[in-house]
């Protein structure tokens, strides 16, 4: 497919690479973590070589993800400050989910839902990283009471974030023309105008 | 399992019932703290029978040697000097090690199927070949017993000499104790024997003598006769009312299947949303508008080129 030269750039190459490093790490962490989370998922350890390898690798992958997530979060944080129009959008999210976006308020580069996801992930990542390090017996020894709380919080944060990511991935699949933003970096003008009109105006100078 | 003495009644990270048809006699080890002279013969016997040796360490000013349980030291004599109310001194010696809880926190926490098992005779055993070295057993244990080996990254602890018990022998430590402070037999018999010891101690003025078989963990298969059963903490911080920590129960309890159901619902809900509401596409109107704009610009370009 020859893409239209008038398409709009949404992510540059470095932002895309950063996002995929975090995404791949997250999937590996979710698969390896779920293996310990419940016996039903224990066979997932075979994906990582063996159960013991899964236990060894998980925290190291976690450290890689934490570093790249931090970089990504710093890059995107300013675009995710919550504004009045995001609150309006969130109040009417029901209409959106119902498949009718005609009356949704105009959105900037990110809509209210995306911003909530961003801050939810910032919270979840902070919790899961701190607790994960506390649980890392190969390197760290802390009192057992701390490890117990860390274990619960780590598991809860993991479920919370896996839930958020299911929604995140689904939203990208549901909204046609979105995934290419993270693959080639561009979206069509029509896509931008429909879903993020304020951003569309800002980058194109189009007043309509 | 071929040997009835090794029938397994509970297995870590396993959600279906283990074989239960055969009923095995519940066993227990009874440690009479009041009869222990601290000779450490049991410690030596444990090392001998199990072929484990801890490296020689440094003395930190107490008789405990080594200073703590390790992957190579499954039992340690704990020495405590306690001043009595009337100004006297008591030297309390407790043989520390796995209590073989009826409701074992280690087994509850372990994520690896079959790494921790409980025989139908009550012994809790680690099967290191299935152990992944995560240390969750340490997190789950109310008695701070399991240790991860620096050599192989697996968890170890007292086996209650399950290999000896399986063939009708008493544990090595019980076999070797010169004062008879360590007894081994059916749990029922051990409780009866403990009663006679407690009566004796009470006659000798230890009014609070009693059996340590804490109900919070469903009772244990290693029990103590204590002269001060009202104050177990005197014996190197033996917990008064041990239970699996509520935090561990929250972590390992009903929350897990609920969380999994929630995630499953999120995934399935997404699929059905797509099927029922359809994709969120860019409107035809906008697409046509952009198409016209593209055409217009292309025409302009051509004109410029001329
Ligand atoms: C810096 C990041 C992270 C670190 C250092 C870390 C570390 C750990 C450690 C040490 C364990 C215990 C098992 C083991 O030793 O391998 C664990 C368990 C687990 N981790 Fe992580 N982790 C991190 C990120 C994540 C992420 C992003 C997820 C999920 C998407 C996750 C999900 C889990 C789950 C579900 C468990 C099992 C919890 C349970 O047994 O209930 N972790 N993690
Ligand atoms: S004392 Fe600790 S290691 Fe031993 S059976 Fe009880 S919970 Fe498990
Ligand atoms: S360290 Fe081994 S025995 Fe202990 S909980 Fe992990 S897998 Fe189970
Ligand atoms: S029962 Fe066996 S393994 Fe346990 S302390 Fe005694 S000798 Fe050691």
Question: pLDDT tens digits, residue range B179-197?
Answer: 999 999 999 999 999 999 9
Over residues A38-47, the pLDDT tens digits come to 999 999 999 9
pLDDT on residue B133: 98
pLDDT of B123 higher than 90: yes
Computed over every residue of chain B, the mean pLDDT equals 95
| Residues of A taking part in catalysis | 168
Tokens representing residue B211 in the block:
């059996």
How many whole angstroms separate alpha carbon B93 and alpha carbon B208? 17
Q: Assign 3-class secondary structure to B120-173.
A: CCCCEEECHHHCCCCCHHHHHCCCCCCEECCCCCCEECCCCCHHHHHCCCCCHH
Enumerate the residues of chain A whose CB falls inside 8 A of the CB of residue B153. 52, 138
Provide, as residue numbers in chain B, all residues whose Cβ is less than 8 Å from the Cβ of A145: 245, 247
Interface contact B113-A39, CB threshold 8 A: yes
Domains defined for chain B, CATH in brackets: 4-244 (3.30.70.20), 255-305 (no CATH)
Answer whether A67's CB lies under 8 Å from A61's CB: no
| pLDDT, average across residues B259-287 | 95
Rg for chain A (alpha carbons), in Å? 20
Q: So what's the pLDDT on residue A99?
A: 85
- Nearest CA to A44 among B126, B54, B113, B267? B113
Query: Minimal CA–CA distance to A3: which of A194, A188, A165, A197?
Result: A188
Ligand 3 mean position to B117 CA, how many Å? 11
The per-residue pLDDT for range A158-190, each reduced to its tens digit, is 999 999 999 999 999 999 999 999 999 999 999
What was the ipTM of the complex prediction? 0.93
pLDDT in tens, A16-31: 999 999 999 999 999 9
Residue A208: is its pLDDT beyond 70?
Answer: no
Q: Counting beta carbons within 10 angstroms of the beta carbon of residue B203, is it exposed (0 to 12), middle (13 to 18) or buried (19 or more)?
A: exposed
Minimum distance, in Å, between the CA of residue B301 and any CA atom of chain A: 13
A168: chain B residues, CB-CB within 8 Å: none
Is the Cβ of A83 closer than 8 Å to some Cβ of chain B? no
- Identify the pLDDT of residue A12: 95
Strand B124-126 and strand B116-119: the pairing is antiparallel
Statement: residue A207 has pLDDT above 90: no
Mean pLDDT within B246-265: 95
Asked if the C-beta of B263 comes within 8 angstroms of chain A's C-beta atoms, the answer is yes
Q: What is the pLDDT of residue A2?
A: 58
Closest Cα to atom 2 of ligand 2: B141
Q: Determine the 3-state secondary structure of A206 from DSSP.
A: coil
Percent of chain B with pLDDT over 90: 91
What pLDDT sits at residue B1? 55
A148 touches chain B (CB under 8 A): yes
% chain B with pLDDT above 70? 99
**Mean pLDDT calculated for residue range A70-84:** 96
Q: What is the DSSP letter of B271?
A: H
Note the pLDDT of residue A205: 87
> Sorting pLDDT into bands at 50, 70 and 90, what band is A137?
very high
A3 contact B CB<8A: no
Model pTM score: 0.94
Q: What's the pLDDT tens digit per position in B218-254?
A: 999 999 999 999 999 999 999 999 999 999 999 999 9
Q: At residue B8, does pLDDT exceed 70?
A: yes
Query: Contact B260/A174, CB-based, under 8 Å?
Result: no
Instruction: Pick B290's closest partner by Cβ from A52, A55, A189.
Output: A189
């Amino acid at each position: 497919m020859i893409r239209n030269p008038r398409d709009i750039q949404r992510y540059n190459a470095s932002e895309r690479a950063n996002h995929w490093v975090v995404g791949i790490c997250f999937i590996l962490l979710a698969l390896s973590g779920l293996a310990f989370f419940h016996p039903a998922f224990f066979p997932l350890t075979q994906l990582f070589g063996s159960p013991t390898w899964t236990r060894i690798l998980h925290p190291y992958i976690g450290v890689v993800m934490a570093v790249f997530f931090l970089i990504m979060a710093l890059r995107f944080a300013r675009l995710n400050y919550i504004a009045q129009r995001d609150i309006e959008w969130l109040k009417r999210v029901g209409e959106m989910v119902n498949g009718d976006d005609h009356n949704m308020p105009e959105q900037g580069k990110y809509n209210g839902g995306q911003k909530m996801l961003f801050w939810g992930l910032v919270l979840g990542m902070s919790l899961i990283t701190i607790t994960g390090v506390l649980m890392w017996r190969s390197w760290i020894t802390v009192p057992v009471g701390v490890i117990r709380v860390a274990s619960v919080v780590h598991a809860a944060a993991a479920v919370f974030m896996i839930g958020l990511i299911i929604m995140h991935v689904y939203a990208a699949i549901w909204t046609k023309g979105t995934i290419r933003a993270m693959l080639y970096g561009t979206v069509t003008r029509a896509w931008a105008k429909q879903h993020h009109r304020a951003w569309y105006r800002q980058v194109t100078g189009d007043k309509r | 399992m071929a040997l009835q003495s090794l029938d397994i009644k509970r297995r870590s990270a396993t959600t279906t019932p283990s074989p239960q048809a055969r009923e095995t006699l519940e066993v227990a080890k009874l440690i009479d703290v009041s009869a222990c002279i601290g000779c450490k013969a049991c410690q030596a016997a444990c090392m001998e029978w199990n072929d484990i040796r801890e490296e020689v360490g440094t003395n930190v000013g107490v008789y405990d040697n080594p200073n703590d349980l390790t992957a190579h030291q499954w039992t340690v004599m704990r020495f405590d000097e306690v001043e009595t109310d009337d100004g006297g001194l008591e030297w309390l010696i407790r043989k520390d090690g796995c209590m073989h809880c009826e409701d074992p926190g280690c087994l509850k926490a372990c994520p690896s199927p079959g790494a921790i098992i409980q025989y139908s005779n009550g012994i809790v055993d680690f099967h290191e070949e299935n152990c992944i070295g995560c240390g969750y057993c340490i997190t789950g244990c109310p008695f701070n017993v399991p240790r991860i080996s620096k050599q192989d990254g697996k968890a170890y602890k007292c086996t209650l000499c399950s290999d000896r018990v399986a063939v009708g022998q008493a544990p090595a430590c019980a076999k070797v104790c010169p004062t008879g402070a360590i007894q081994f037999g059916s749990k029922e018999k051990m409780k009866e024997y403990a009663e006679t010891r407690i009566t004796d101690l009470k006659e000798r003025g230890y009014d609070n003598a009693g059996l340590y078989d804490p109900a919070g963990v469903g009772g244990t298969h290693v029990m103590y006769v204590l002269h001060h059963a009202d104050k177990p903490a005197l014996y190197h911080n033996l917990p008064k009312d041990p239970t699996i920590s509520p935090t561990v129960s929250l972590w390992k309890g009903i929350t897990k299947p609920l969380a999994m159901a929630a995630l499953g619902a999120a995934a399935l809900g997404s699929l059905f949303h797509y099927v029922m509401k359809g994709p969120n596409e860019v409107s035809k109107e906008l697409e046509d508008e952009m198409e016209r704009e593209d055409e217009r610009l292309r025409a302009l370009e051509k004109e410029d080129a001329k």
